[in-house]
Amino acid sequence: METLCDTDLIVYAHCLDHPGQTSQDLAASAALDEAEVRRSVARLLDAHLLVTADAARGPSAPLHAVSPEAAAARVAAPVEETIRRQRQQLSQARAELSRFLPVYLDRDRSLNAVRVVDNVVEVRHLLNKASRWCRAEVRSAQPGGGARKPEAMDEALDRDRAMLRRGIRLRTLYHHTARFNGPSQSYVSAASQLGAEYRTVYDLFGRLIVFDQELAFLQAQDDEFGAVVVREKSMIAYLTEIFDRTWHTAQPFSDAPSAGLEGTARELHRPILRLLAAGLKDEALARRLGMSLRTTRRHIATIMQDLGATSRFQAGVIAAQRGLLGR
């Protein structure tokens, strides 16, 4: 279809005002060159903005204007049909090729049962590939309050959206502190509307993603961007059981303001007391609960004030006497 111009607007307007005119009539009434009008009519006919019931009469055929919406529908129809066929072909191809996936995974698993990947680009590539081949369910644990870089969260949401549209079940565990994280709240809200499930716990075991109980990704030790890729069946079964046990005791995700900001914050005091009593230092305690060191120390100061304690040891003694260390 040729690009339409200002002359076409004039001719189209005249056809709206004077239905049934010919090209010659339009040239006379619009005071335009007849050859220019014929070229404009040809473009408008090609764009389906003009129609004629008697195309064989050429310049003498009566012309009628059509609404832009109807014209757009006629232009889009063959394109949409092509897209529909291509999507159907793609779906059929994926279904056919997925039959070979178990064979590939069995061979690949035996050769690469555990693999360390220290390149963030390759990690993202592997995650995207696993998402495309996923058939049933993804289990995910995201410690640290859910805080991730915006580009990583956007990429993850694109992956999640594509899987949810294919009927894949997505379950994700966060620390309770994710309730205070604005980007995490937005991410959970968007994905939950598509069917994803989210729960939170105080003490999370670590970063984990398991696809179909066949492929797992763990965060590499001392490497924020690296990953350990696991394909060994027994290890994956063990990781899946850890996730499922935690999931059953976790709470449905709710952002702190809707759940009561102060009450939600104070819910963290009991696990903090337990970890303090167990002898954890501030840095280790912050990692376990997915909080910053500054926030952790602020909570500890509030706990000591509430208990009337002048030292952490005294706070532990008072908490034990009051039965505050139980689960």
- pLDDT, tens digit, 9 for 90 and up, residues 186-205: 888 888 888 999 998 888 88
Average pLDDT over residues 241-246: 95
Q: Is-contact 47 75, C-beta < 8 A?
A: yes
- Of 249, 251, 248, 278, the C-alpha closest to 264 is 251
Question: What is the C-alpha separation between 277 and 20, in angstroms, rounded?
Answer: 91
- Residue 304: inside a domain, yes or no? yes
* Backbone CA torsion sign across 277, 282, 286, 291: positive
Q: Phi-psi bin for 292: left (phi > 0), alpha (psi -120 to 50), beta?
A: beta
- Of 197, 153, 145, 217, the C-alpha closest to 174 is 145
CA-based angle 250:254:260, to the nearest 5? 115
Residue 215: the pLDDT is: 92
Question: What is the C-alpha separation between 16 and 64, in angstroms, rounded?
Answer: 7
Question: What is the C-alpha separation between 47 and 68, in angstroms, rounded?
Answer: 9
Q: 281 and 226: one domain? A: no
pLDDT at 225 over 90: no
- Residue 263: inside a domain, yes or no? no
User: Residues 302-317: pLDDT tens digits?
Assistant: 888 888 887 777 777 7
Question: What is the C-alpha separation between 184 and 186, in angstroms, rounded?
Answer: 5
- Residue 282: inside a domain, yes or no? yes
Listed residues 202, 235, 257: the one ending a domain:
257
- Residue 182: inside a domain, yes or no? yes
Q: 124 and 236: one domain? A: yes
Listed residues 257, 290, 306: the one ending a domain:
257
- Of 147, 196, 153, 144, the C-alpha closest to 175 is 144
- Residue 326: inside a domain, yes or no? no
Give the domain CATH number at 186: 3.30.870.10
Residue 106: the pLDDT is: 64
The amino acid at 189: S
Greater pLDDT, 274 or 43: 43
Q: 83 and 129: one domain? A: no
pLDDT at 223 over 80: no
Residue 251: the pLDDT is: 87
Average pLDDT over residues 122-129: 88
Q: 155 and 207: one domain? A: yes
Structure tokens at 261: 């900001």
Q: Which domain holds residue 92?
A: 72-97
- Residue 140: inside a domain, yes or no? yes
Residue 245: the pLDDT is: 94
Altogether, the residues listed in the chain come to a count of 327
Q: 251 and 156: one domain? A: yes
Average pLDDT over residues 319-323: 76
User: Residues 53-105: pLDDT tens digits?
Assistant: 765 556 678 888 899 988 888 888 888 999 999 989 988 888 888 788 777 66
- Residue 248: inside a domain, yes or no? yes
Residue 252's Cβ-count burial label (10 Å; 0-12, 13-18, 19+) is: exposed
Give the domain CATH number at 18: 1.10.10.10
Q: 197 and 227: one domain? A: yes
pLDDT at 125 over 60: yes
Q: 199 and 244: one domain? A: yes
- Residue 262: inside a domain, yes or no? no
- Give percent above pLDDT 70 in the chain: 87
Most confident listed range (142-151, 232-241, 257-266): 232-241
Q: What pTM, to 2 d.p., does this model score?
A: 0.56
Q: 183 and 309: one domain? A: no
Q: 203 and 236: one domain? A: yes
Structure tokens at 49: 């903005």
Average pLDDT, the chain: 82
pLDDT at 247 over 90: yes
DSSP designation for 220: P
Q: 219 and 274: one domain? A: no
Residue 242: the pLDDT is: 94
Q: Is-contact 125 157, C-beta < 8 A?
A: no
Q: 39 and 152: one domain? A: no
Strand order in the sheet with 137-142: 114-117, 227-230, 215-219, 208-211, 137-142, 169-175, 197-201, 251-252
User: Residues 142-178: pLDDT tens digits?
Assistant: 887 555 566 667 777 888 888 999 999 999 999 887 8
- Give percent above pLDDT 90 in the chain: 17
Total domains present in the chain: 4
Q: 90 and 178: one domain? A: no
pLDDT at 219 over 70: yes
